[in-house]
Amino acid sequence: MSSRTPAGGVSFAIVIPTIGRISLRVLLDSLARSGRATGIALPAVYVVDDRPGPHPSLELPPVPSRVSILGSAGRGPAAARNVGWRAADTEWVAFLDDDVVVSEQWLADLIGDLDQPSSVGGVSGRISVPLPPGRPPTDWERGTAGLETARWITADLAYRRDVLRQVGGFDERFPRAFREDADLALRVLDAGYDLVPGERRTEHPVRPAGWWASLHQQSGNADDVLMDRLHGRDWRRRAEAPKGRRPLHLLTTACALTVPIALVLRHRSLAGAAAAGWATLTAEFCWRRIRPGPRDRVEVLKMLTTSAAIPPAATWHWTRALLRRSSPRSGPERESPARRPAAVLVDRDGTLVKDVPYNGDPSRVDPMPGAAAALKRLRQAGIPVAVITNQSGIGRGLIDRAAVDAVNARIDEVLGPFAAWVVCPHTDGDGCDCRKPMPGLVHQAAHRLGVAAADCVVIGDIGADMGCAQAAGARAILVPTPVTRADEIRAAPRCARTISDAVDIVLAGAY
């Protein structure tokens, strides 16, 4: 789907990741109002449902546009946006968060914003945060208001699709709605493109927040560690992202930890000094948050409790991430997500599990050596994994579909969960498009995952697996077994000894 301006200019689509918040309906209503106010037909809208596991279907208001609902299986906003832009076939992709409201002139202003020279890779919208009148804003409201001056936030930001493809899209190693936008922007700038502000206006209301919302935000400290590794220590200056209070949080936590240690070692004076340091730093932090706010009883109590909990929480997330990423920094080619695939499609028999001809017995499922660990590494890297498998026993009448599904369910229990299962039940004589080495299974899996076939890597054990990948325009890695013929090994575009070695190739971007 695509949409062109009335003047025949650029085409664009809209991508909205969501976790099912009611604010999505408000956003879609505002887009419809903008269409009516400007007389511009809404373009293709891709709503990407990022809720994990079984959940009720999204209930959307009537919108005068073809709205496609895709899924990203709870892999985070970076993955959801990747699913959305890869499904689009337009020159530009405009990203909106599901809790914003666009202005009535937004569509017309967006079209104007996208009229840019080829040197411009992205155009940001102008974000405003309405604050309650008649009283000072709370700590949470002030934090949200900071979005007005933040750089490159994807609450409203449009990128050229070719630029997204060139740099690899959003890095799915960022699991939260934090830093994934700055990381992408820095990579786009490094690729030689400009990012410029636009004229379109978008409102970002303050979301309701629970008592411990500010505490939960401290998980973002882990993402700062990843930013350091990917972009070096200078990234904060480039992204205009202040360091904040982390050094003071570390000092506060160190004082708190020193108190019990000093008491155990009977250094009472040291324990007293550490306790005084902790109390002073915590009181200063608390007052800094209370002073500009409404200072009502609820806000003061919330600041007192969270100000004591935030320093150790921030320190914990930062330290844990630092230890997990303590290996020497890899080169930029290895760290960049640009060479990582959008999805990995894996053959079943002989690749994931030992080949039992026409198996209909779940108890006979036996994983290939190293398969579980290899799949775990792909999932930890944020790469969705689907299974594509020929099951001609169904077409031959040797096994029924229910038995195949039962075996697949067992494999999902042992090695999953997989993002999708795609099965061809046909025989050679059926003339279908999906039996490997035909490309149909790859195309079906890519469609189910919301990615392009060309952005996938197929891992299999025979020539038919390689053939279906090449026919669909995907990459392929052969993991030979004793049944793999010598000519299939010679013809394979890439070989690996084991599935673990194949995953090494995928993660290194060497496929």
89: its two tokens: 């076939």
Tokens encoding 125: 């919208």
Instruction: Report how far residue 307's alpha carbon sits from residue 286's, in angstroms, rounded to the nearest whole number.
Output: 5
pLDDT at 326: 62
Q: Where are the domains of the chain?
A: 12-209, 210-331, 340-508
Instruction: Indicate whether 160 pLDDT > 70.
Output: yes
Cα separation, 28 vs 14, whole angstroms: 11
Report, as an integer, the average pLDDT of 327-351. 68
One fold for 12-209 and 340-508: no
Residue length of the chain: 511
Q: What are 60-101's pLDDT values in tens digits? A: 777 656 788 887 778 889 988 988 888 788 999 999 999 999
Position 469 scores a pLDDT of: 94
Residue 165 — pLDDT band, cuts 50, 70, 90? Answer: confident
pLDDT of residue 477: 96
- Can you read off the two tokens belonging to residue 478? 């052969």
pLDDT in tens, 235-281: 999 998 888 899 999 999 999 999 999 999 999 999 999 999 999 99
Three-state SS at 253: helix
| DSSP-derived 3-state class of residue 25 | helix
Answer whether 0.85 is exceeded by the pTM. Answer: no
**56 pLDDT higher than 80:** no
CATH number of the domain located at residue range(s) 340-508 in this protein: 3.40.50.1000
Q: Are 229 and 326 in contact (CB under 8 A)?
A: no
Alpha helices in 39-160 (DSSP H): 77-87, 106-113, 139-145
For residue 503, which phi and psi values (nearest 5 degrees)?
-65, -35
Residue the block writes with tokens 């709605």: 177
In Å, how far are 33, 38, 206, 471 from 101, measured between CA atoms? 11, 16, 11, 43
pLDDT in tens, 426-477: 998 898 999 999 999 999 999 888 788 888 999 999 999 999 999 999 999 9
Cα–Cα separations (whole angstroms), residue 448 to 36, 131, 175, 219, 384:
33, 41, 21, 31, 11
DSSP 8-state symbol, 88:
-
Tokens of 388: 């594509």
Active site residues: 347, 349
Pairing of strands 343-346, 456-460: parallel
Percent of the chain with pLDDT over 90: 71
Section 402-410 average pLDDT: 95
pLDDT of residue 54: 63
How high is the mean pLDDT of the chain? 90
C-alpha separations of 111 from 64, 82, 106, 471 in Å: 18, 22, 9, 37
How confident is the model over 466-490, as pLDDT tens digits? 999 999 999 999 999 999 999 999 9
What confidence score (pLDDT) does residue 449 get? Answer: 86
How far apart, in whole angstroms, are the C-alpha atoms of residue 279 and residue 104?
50
CB-count exposure of residue 157 (10 Å: 0-12, 13-18, 19+): buried
Please state, in angstroms and rounded to a whole number, the distance separating the CA atoms of residues 24 and 36. 19
In CATH terms, the superfamily for domain 12-209 is: Spore Coat Polysaccharide Biosynthesis Protein SpsA; Chain A (3.90.550.10)
Peptide bond into 437 cis (omega under 30): yes
- Work out the pLDDT band at 330, boundaries 50, 70, 90: very low
pLDDT at 336 over 50: no
Residue matched to tokens 């506060």: 252
| The pLDDT of residue 27 is above 60 | yes
pLDDT in tens, 204-219: 999 988 999 999 999 9
| Tally of CA atoms within 13 A in the half-sphere of 317 that contains its CB | 19
Instruction: Quickly state the pLDDT bin for 55 (edges 50, 70, 90).
Output: low
Confidence class for position 339, pLDDT limits 50, 70, 90: low
Helix, strand or coil, per DSSP, at residue 138: coil
